[in-house]
Amino acid sequence: MLGRGLCIIIPLLFVSVNCFPVDPPAGGANLRNNKGIAENVASVETNYKGHWELFSPNSGVSAMHLILLPTTNNVLMFDATIWKVSKLKLPGPPCRKVEDTPGEEDCFAHSVLMDFETAAVKPLRLHYDTWCSSGSLDVNGRLVSTGGYNNGSDTVRILDICPDCEWKEYPGTLGNGRWYATQVTLGDGRFMVFGGRDFPTYEFVPPEGKRNAKNQVTPFKFLEETHDPVENNLYPYIYLNTDGNLFVFANNRSIILDPITNKIVYEFPVLPNGARNYPASGCSCMLPIVLQPDEKRPVIPTEVLVCGGAPHDAFTLTDLNRPKVFPPANKDCARIDINNRGNPNWKIMNMPTARILGDAVVLPTGDVLLVNGAMSGSAGWDDARDPNMAPVLYRVASAGPEFTELAPTTIARMYHSTSAVLPDGKILIAGSNTNPTYMDVALFPTEVRVEKFSPHYFDPALDHFRTDILFEKSDSKVRYGKRFEVQVGGGDPNLDMKKLQVNIYYPPFTTHGISMNQRLITLGIYDVKKGVAPNTSVISLQAPPNGNIAPPGYYMLYVVYNGVPCRRAMWVQFKK
């Protein structure tokens, strides 16, 4: 036996499947239909642990914040202006005038666009500090970013996706300063921003060019109640539920908030074993929302996963204590059905290793990759130790072993590291800076190298299952609830619906272990027919019924066959 088999479950109905270690065949992978266990599930077994590659030796800016921009080949990376330095100079004047220091100028770039195929970098100018800010994409794919530090704390900034676009910055837009705040997109496309240091409140982000008055800010007692002596409730995890309400998790507590009435309509059991939000900084994601054709269910099952974190006093021990003490991070993951209002309970599981400062990345298959971070300490300057180099695969629908360690990186990704899912299914990994400036000589130097990780489904033995979306013959602008078609080539001359998933993925704004608005939805499939051209298929699908299921905007659509994503996702815009 070459080792324990890695079993990847493709959940079409969120059912359980038993997986067992097997001797892999000569090709390294084995496909098995689980007949008699679940009708609409196919499984792929592989010993392949993934592959790391150094994509760029220098991104110019250490990626404290990262987001994939729709319909382009670009990821956006930015850090903060406060340090007045990076690894990339602006191409020329004007330089940024440094606030409070008359005559001083900062001529370094603090924001870049990176082509995720060529690694080419384009610097973008910033004037208002983005340190520990937040963001979301709007219906047209523009990034709307909120908050930051000092002169940036009440700023809203917008970056469009045209080739020559620059940041548009609107200081004084927000009613409160938003430093370490969370931004969430509602079903009608509006944004709300929650919390931030010293402001246990929330507010709607006003339209471009408008400003919020102080009386347009709503006090949020829940954030006061979840505030430890060292906070542990910054960057709260917030998800739009399928009923239009918001799931809010801060510290170790979670609620359902009606954003229209401002009422808390439900509170879930406390999640034990420490704190989960900044600076205890675990990671979290919403698990896949699985739809049916002609979706009419009044309640759609929706689950949230929360992993890692630290003891409530971790920041005190690391940042405020001398000598520093680095307590072990949490080793547990917990998930809960946020639409179960009868007797919901956290299902608590153990990861192979402890993790803090990591990312929970929802893969195109619907499984979750836990990546980046450390195994002890806290968020903060030089406050963590023991880099966690090995990503872990969490199989969402597994009834067997749920976690599998994959191939480790050689680059420590600590505080301020980030990630992004790319159209080809690889994961871009960037950032990491535990220092209060750019430092090349340190225990963990400021990191500007960028990697790509190819997960388990890039096993060469599985390549023949990979389909190609025929973009020009597929629908790319779709109204809610409508039927639409996607054409593919390859994979199999006769695509078997029992082995087929079509998933749409909303690119998140990633920073500090939080991936704002990350969302994967499995679409209902009506039928699959042979295309006109040889070895092609036409997949007939139903769009999400409304914006509470899928907020308006651009999604990457992946055709997943036998657990293997297509060669490149297609951008599809969903709206009313």
Check pLDDT > 90 for residue 526.
Answer: yes
Give SS3 for 368.
strand
Check pLDDT > 50 for residue 151.
Answer: yes
Helices (H) and strands (E) in the chain, counts: 2, 48
Predicted confidence at residue 225, as pLDDT, reads 98
Asked if 574 and 555 count as a contact pair (C-beta separation under 8 A), the reply is: yes
Check pLDDT > 50 for residue 552.
Answer: yes
Predicted confidence at residue 5, as pLDDT, reads 41
Mean pLDDT of 139-150: 98
pLDDT band at 8 (very low <50, low <70, confident <90, very high): very low
Asked if 149 and 80 count as a contact pair (C-beta separation under 8 A), the reply is: yes
Asked if 436 and 381 count as a contact pair (C-beta separation under 8 A), the reply is: yes
Predicted confidence at residue 26, as pLDDT, reads 33
List the beta bridge partners of residue 65: 78
Predicted confidence at residue 29, as pLDDT, reads 53
Single-letter code of the amino acid located at 484: F
Predicted confidence at residue 303, as pLDDT, reads 98
Residue 472 backbone dihedrals phi, psi, to 5 degrees = -70, -15
Mean pLDDT of 356-375: 98
Check pLDDT > 70 for residue 148.
Answer: yes
Region of 341 on the Ramachandran plot (φ > 0 left; ψ -120 to 50 alpha; else beta)? alpha
Site of tokens 């994959």: 406
Predicted confidence at residue 491, as pLDDT, reads 82
Cα distance between the two ends of the chain = 53
Predicted confidence at residue 22, as pLDDT, reads 29
Of 402 and 11, the structure prediction assigns the larger pLDDT to 402
> What tens digit of pLDDT does each residue of 102-112 get?
999 999 999 99
pLDDT band at 9 (very low <50, low <70, confident <90, very high): very low
- State the Cα torsion 476-477-482-485 to the nearest 10°: -20
Predicted confidence at residue 163, as pLDDT, reads 87
In percent, the amount of the chain with pLDDT more than 70 equals: 92
DSSP classification of residue 56:
E
Q: Which of 221-235, 290-304, 346-360 has the lowest mean pLDDT?
A: 290-304
Residue 103: exposure state from Cβ atoms within 10 A (0-12, 13-18, ≥19)? exposed
Question: What is the rounded distance in angstroms from the CA atom of residue 162 to the CA atom of residue 270?
Answer: 45
Count of other CB atoms within 10 angstroms of residue 317: 18
pLDDT band at 138 (very low <50, low <70, confident <90, very high): very high
In percent, the amount of the chain with pLDDT more than 90 equals: 88
Residue 91: exposure state from Cβ atoms within 10 A (0-12, 13-18, ≥19)? exposed
> What tens digit of pLDDT does each residue of 114-137 get?
999 999 999 999 999 999 999 999
Q: What angle do CA 143, 509, 420 make, to 5 degrees?
A: 115
Predicted confidence at residue 490, as pLDDT, reads 86
Predicted confidence at residue 395, as pLDDT, reads 95
Q: Which residues of 263-302 are buried (b: 16+ CB within 10 A; e: fewer)?
A: eeebebeebeebbbbbbbbbbbbbbbbbbeeebeeeebeb
Predicted confidence at residue 492, as pLDDT, reads 82
Of 85 and 35, the structure prediction assigns the larger pLDDT to 85
Predicted confidence at residue 272, as pLDDT, reads 98
Asked if 419 and 429 count as a contact pair (C-beta separation under 8 A), the reply is: yes
Question: What is the rounded distance in angstroms from the CA atom of residue 258 to the CA atom of residue 246?
Answer: 6
> What tens digit of pLDDT does each residue of 158-198 get?
999 998 999 999 999 999 999 999 999 999 999 999 999 99
Nearest to 402 by CA among 18, 33, 120, 113: 18
Mean pLDDT of 413-432: 98
The DSSP line for 261-273 is: TTEEEEEPPPP-S
Question: What is the rounded distance in angstroms from the CA atom of residue 146 to the CA atom of residue 208?
Answer: 12
pLDDT band at 414 (very low <50, low <70, confident <90, very high): very high
